[in-house]
Structure 1
């Protein structure tokens, strides 16, 4: 996203590749729990056929994510990043594990009570997402752009991984008694493992990498207070007598308002990307695409197609001529995506499943590619504390776009029989 200034890195720094791998895994852990909920939608539609689970659970998730993110973004300069991220990953782990417990306790029965319980844990996912996604993007914003790209690729990989696992478990358990539920339990168990892995990696391995210590020390020297706990975990103690100097540097930094208006086009870009994507994915794909030859496999194939191309597209900006750096070019490309709305409408009503799979793939391709382009094209030249703040603001706009898209997704139900 926003690279710290300061010329070339010291040659003695090590751990760049290790840091990129860990960022990828941490990105995967940031969304694997939520993507698990989206991908096992067929199980919840079987339990709660009249509750619109994919739409309702998404609508429950987003207010918690957006509200928490707004609070955290406003107070980011005073929040310990290490504590924030660990709380987020631990909450992901606990909520995913409790979904398994709830299903076992209710023996996989439907009804209002279990559905409310699922909604409560999904709200926990939203709170965790705000802690982790904003915290990680802010933290990586003053490091290398490759770290941000790896983290974003990990986010997309969570969708591709969960879709692949869902297709495998559906095939493996389709003919067994209670096969849908068995596959779902295995699925949630794997997600719980990944969340625990993220807790361990972030707590004990990531802060000790030399390249990570270098950038965090640099941010601390520029007045950042959010990295002190991570530096302490890496064995680096900041001087206590620098308090007045740090406060002076903090007071000298641009305000969140100034940062927002200097980058309002990027903020609007992220908002519009996710307004469109979430107005279609996943509710429209589950409820508005009709029935086709693939039968119960159809929505799973659509979700998998989206997630696969979303993942692939997040590596495309690494090819220089595919990277969109022009601010006007990005805005034009993002606005042109809204032509997908009539395309999806006519394909759902008049097209066959092949055209729908093609459209969904293009939706994923443009979503991932443009997200990485926006976050890596954000202007350089800010100091560490400002880069952290800008990262949080951009994630806030992204989540606002998701929330708006989720709300607009309900408009597809207008005129549909037995919709409400």
Structure 2
């Protein structure tokens, strides 16, 4: 009789069935792997040391080459999620490892396999959260749903590429309610746009600072985190990294921050429906250069951005949201693009720091596998794909319709004048031979 398990963890990479040898018989072995995973119906994670790459190149350049195929591509074909590199070959560079808080203290020789304890803790934390989520009754599960508002200030809040967010979000909430999730005592709004508008309002109150003065903001689920609490959540090293990049303190970025010093509050926005918290992902916060945060390796997200994500996993008693899982709703957010290694998270990578151990369910358009892989690999996203709307002629609308009318009038007028100019001049009535 098969053993009952809460999760499956592959510690060798490669396909689930057959290991390295199974890679040569993909089609036949894939069907067997599918049968096993469907029968177990539990999370399938992959975590293994890098057997053909050293830890220095991993931390500097990310998991690369054949090693990425072994740890990521092949297991993903079977449905593996949350890949965590557990270590790698010892690089022999004592100076490099000594300067890295996660690699210091190594006494192995170059070429020997070494595990990184912090990565083992990350695997254990994520595994624990997945199992805890499955065991907890639906009525007790707390879910954070992240919407997007990019570009900020242009009416894009609550939108996503190729997805009708208001209607899709309402469909999800109604399904959760039918499944027994607690969405509060009152009925859900009849109009999906009304819910999105409530989320927009809370987000604008956080952006303007009004949330710190409006009692209705917190009563509706609007979040706020003190500077001192955020320092504790991040820890001294990461708090110092953020402070260096944002004015020398967690209260000095000027982004959704009210007050200073011990009285500083970082406002998160958000609307609470029972055990479901819905909020807008913060802006990246680099005025005039929004791509800088994505490509400058030493850059960090701003303090309010880090508070937004760290609060989701922290318990309510600790001042957080207390979520058991987060849902990123649509294509796409920014967290998975934050600074860090291109592939193979380390403890210093911001997607890893901010996602932490939380299960991350990511709703993503099926026609964009390249970017969805970033969400899966860097942001620990478990992808839920949706079809894209059918294409049709969009036609013209608003000012474009008026412009077409003006152009038609112009061409008609110029065409009439051209015809008049080309017409032969009338004969001179008084002329004679």
User: Same fold per TM (> 0.5)?
Assistant: no
Structure number with larger C-alpha Rg:
2
With the length of structure 2 as denominator, give the TM-score of the two structures.
0.28
Judging by fraction of residues, say which structure has more helix.
Answer: 1
Judging by fraction of residues, say which structure has more strand.
Answer: 2
